[in-house]
Amino acid sequence: MSRRVTNIAAVIAGLAVLIAGIAFTAVRERPYESVASVVLAPQSNNPERIASLLESFERSGTIGTYVELMSSDDTTEEARAQGVTITVQAIPNTRAIRLIAEGDEDAVKPALRSVITRTLARQQALTGLFTLRVLEKPSDPVLAGPGNKLLFIATVVLAIFAAVAVLAILRRLLPPPERPVQDSVGLAQSTEESKSPQRA
């Protein structure tokens, strides 16, 4: 395999990755998303009671209970009926919960609003130590996932990496360059001449 063939193979590998990335970017379907945040606030007016509740909040498992409540089938029933996916995430080291709705542009915001409304109605069945409050209302729908520009840059980087990797692998498979072999007769003569004493 010659170096020219190796270089051509590397270029083909890079172009293949580049074309595949551009094609994926062109045909992919990006859903819309709406985001909201809620917070758990102590349900007490007594400062000492509030301090006690906040101190024991992490050990109580309250935030995990609310995450389960908000992501349950009963709470997300209306959202799922509209083809919207609801993701509920507890924000570490806080009393806040983040909600993300993904689906059609016209459906994500109402679906997220319905999840919050149902949670507020159903929280009465839980302990009354904390109450749910809306920290951030459902946002206007925006396209979810990385943008086309970012994907194109990543595709170019991957294409370069693929070309370099193929080039490095194929060059290691190339045989070492041949060294010129001196004529055996000429080599013998030069050896004898070097051994004979020089005449004055």
Q: Among residues 120, 143, 166, which one ends one of the domains? A: 143
- Asked whether residue 196 is domain-assigned, the answer is no
Question: Which pTM value belongs to this model?
Answer: 0.60
DSSP-derived pairing of the beta strands 32-42 and 96-103: antiparallel
pLDDT at 38 over 90: yes
Strand-strand pairing, 142-143 and 32-42: antiparallel
**pLDDT (tens digit per residue) in 53-99:** 777 676 677 888 889 989 999 999 999 999 999 999 999 888 899 99
Beta carbons of 87 and 70 less than 8 angstroms apart: no
CA end-to-end span of the chain: 55
Q: Are residues 46 and 131 in the same domain?
A: yes
112 part of a folded domain? yes
155-158 contacts, C-beta under 8 A, 24 or more apart: 155/17, 155/18, 155/20, 155/21, 155/22, 155/25, 156/18, 156/21, 158/17, 158/21
Structure confidence by residue, pLDDT tens digits, 124-183 = 777 667 788 899 999 999 887 777 778 788 888 998 898 888 888 887 876 665 655 554
Q: Tell me, yes or no, whether 17 lies in a domain.
A: yes
Q: How many structural domains compose the chain?
A: 2
> Which helix (H) or strand (E) element contains residue 63?
helix 62-71
Which structural domain, as residue segments, surrounds residue 158? 1-29+145-176
